[in-house]
A and B are shown apart, each in its own frame.
Chain A
Amino acid sequence: MSLVTPEFGLLFWMVVIFGLVFFLLAKFGFPIITDSVDKRSAKIAQSLKDADEIAARMEAWKVEQAQLLEKTRREQSAILKEATETKARIVADARTQARAEADKILAEAKLQIAAEKESALRDVRREVALLGVQVAEKVLRHELSDEGSQRAFLDQLVDEANETPIRS
Chain B
Amino acid sequence: MRRWLLILLSLFLCTAVHAEEDINISEIIFEHIGDEYEWHITEWKGKPIAIPLPCIVVENGVKIFTAHHAEEHGYTFNENGKLVNANTGKRPIDLSITKNVLALIMSSLLLLIVVLITARWYKQHDSLEEAPTGLASAMEPLIAMVHEMARENIGPDYRKFSPYLCMAFLWILFNNFLGIMPFFPGGANLTGNIAITLVLALFTFFTVNLNGTKHYYKEIFAPEVPGFLKPIMPVIEVFSAFMKPVSLTIRLFANMLAGHIMILSMVCIIFIVAKYGPLLGSSMTVVSVLFGVFLDALECLVAFIQAYVFTMLSSIYIGLARAHEE
A18-B171, A31-B163 given; A13·B95 CB < 8 A? yes
Residues of A within 8 A of B35 (CB): 7, 10
Contact with B194, one of A6, A38, A40 (Cβ below 8 angstroms): A6
A residues 22-42 near B (Cβ < 8 Å) are: 22, 24-26, 28-34, 36-40
Q: Does B167 interact with chain A (Cβ within 8 Å)?
A: yes
Residues of B within 8 A of A5 (CB): 194
Residues of A within 8 A of B97 (CB): 13
Residues of A within 8 A of B167 (CB): 18, 21-22, 25-26, 30
B residues 137-165 near A (Cβ < 8 Å) are: 139-140, 143-144, 147, 159, 162-164
**A25 and B257 alpha carbons, distance in the complex (Å):** 28
A9-B96, A21-B112, A37-B140 given; A15·B166 CB < 8 A? no
B116 to chain A, nearest CB (A): 6
A3-B257, A39-B128 given; A11·B115 CB < 8 A? no
Q: Does A4 interact with chain B (Cβ within 8 Å)?
A: yes
Contact with B195, one of A6, A30, A31, A36 (Cβ below 8 angstroms): A6
B254 to chain A, nearest CB (A): 10
Contact with B123, one of A6, A14, A32 (Cβ below 8 angstroms): A32
List the one stretch of B101-109, B272-280, B284-292 in contact with chain A. Answer: B101-109
Contact call A29/B200, Cβ cutoff below 8 A: no
Report B38-65 CB contacts with A as 1/0, cut-off 8 Å: 0000000000000000001000000000
Kindly name the residue among A2, A5, A10, A43 whose own CB sees the greatest number of chain B CB atoms within 10 A.
A10
Contact call B127/A36, Cβ cutoff below 8 A: yes
Interface residues of A, dominant DSSP: helix
Contact with B104, one of A17, A30, A43 (Cβ below 8 angstroms): A17
Q: Does B324 interact with chain A (Cβ within 8 Å)?
A: no
**A119 and B95 alpha carbons, distance in the complex (Å):** 157
Residues of B within 8 A of A17 (CB): 104-105, 108
**A31 and B162 alpha carbons, distance in the complex (Å):** 8
Closest to B203 in A: A18
Contact call B164/A36, Cβ cutoff below 8 A: no
Contact call A13/B104, Cβ cutoff below 8 A: yes
Closest to B94 in A: A9
Contact call B119/A32, Cβ cutoff below 8 A: yes
**A8 and B203 alpha carbons, distance in the complex (Å):** 16
Closest to B109 in A: A21
Closest to B193 in A: A10
**A8 and B104 alpha carbons, distance in the complex (Å):** 15
Contact call A25/B101, Cβ cutoff below 8 A: no
**A21 and B106 alpha carbons, distance in the complex (Å):** 12
Contact call A2/B128, Cβ cutoff below 8 A: no
**A89 and B68 alpha carbons, distance in the complex (Å):** 126
Q: Does B238 interact with chain A (Cβ within 8 Å)?
A: no
Contact with A10, one of B80, B108, B116, B195 (Cβ below 8 angstroms): B195
Q: Does B295 interact with chain A (Cβ within 8 Å)?
A: no
Residues of A within 8 A of B82 (CB): 2, 7
- A-B pairs, top 6 by smallest CB distance, nearest first, are A6-B195, A26-B163, A10-B195, A36-B127, A30-B163, A29-B115
Q: List 6 A-B contacts (CB under 8 A).
A: A5-B194, A17-B104, A18-B199, A25-B111, A33-B118, A34-B147
Chain B positions within 8 Å of A, measured between CB atoms, are 30, 33-35, 56, 80, 82, 93-98, 100-101, 104-105, 108, 111-112, 115-116, 118-119, 122-123, 127-128, 136, 139-140, 143-144, 147, 159, 162-164, 166-167, 171, 193-196, 198-200, 203, 257
Given A11-B195, A11-B198, 15 further pairs, Cβ under 8 A: A3-B194, A6-B194, A9-B98, A9-B101, A10-B98, A14-B196, A25-B111, A29-B119, A32-B123, A33-B115, A33-B119, A33-B136, A34-B143, A37-B147, A39-B128
Chain A positions within 8 Å of B, measured between CB atoms, are 2-15, 17-18, 20-22, 24-26, 28-34, 36-40, 43
